[in-house]
Structure 1
């Protein structure tokens, strides 16, 4: 597999994007591609810089054997547009914000996660104001998207 650097982005980098990072790391590792795929996450805003993921994201990840407790929130930076091959926004609002921040030469790196991964447009809904049970549905959506994303990367490499 050709090396690829992926950045998952949501609004605050405590719910969706760190969970996507953990899920993708797990899938890539289990598929034996850990050496070829670099994964990180960031947020549009700076509200949660340095904070651990939301406890509900940590809990659902743990229930599926994934540890994201060591992740810390960070805000996307200008350097990220050069450092990553794919910058995947969790919803269209994230994609609009990322597109506005991206240097013109790097705007092609920004995509809506589900559209890029599965070919079907759709937001990964923000669960921040929801109850803990919504995070299981979030996990399932991210897992399906990440599995599809890995399959797409594998196809591209062959």
Structure 2
């Protein structure tokens, strides 16, 4: 189990950790400017259509197959790309996006957020846990991270 030690030097085998992660989201490192999380999406499920107005994301698939969609609006997802082991996805801030598991095994990936997007060390076993913690104000970046001065709220479809 990887422990998020905050903005301290850290190194681990991210491919092995990603493949072994069974949680919807596990936060494994939180720096001052960026954050690394591991994700596991069950067959037929997805990350969930969303937009982060002030957060760029980098995702890398380490197991499974999926479909990445992106666009300027939740009803205008003009970018589509099938993805699988070894593929990376770059999500610009302000783009609606989703990654759907189209395979028959869990889709295992890691995500790098810049700036930091989640609470340090937070683990969400399910997408529902993640939504609940976001709604209740539990899943917020630490105060010591650098955030936009007047951040726009994330949106979910």
Q: Determine which structure has the larger helix proportion and give its number.
A: 1
Q: Given the two structures, how large is their TM-score scaled by the length of structure 2?
A: 0.31
Q: Given the two structures, how large is their TM-score scaled by the length of structure 1?
A: 0.30
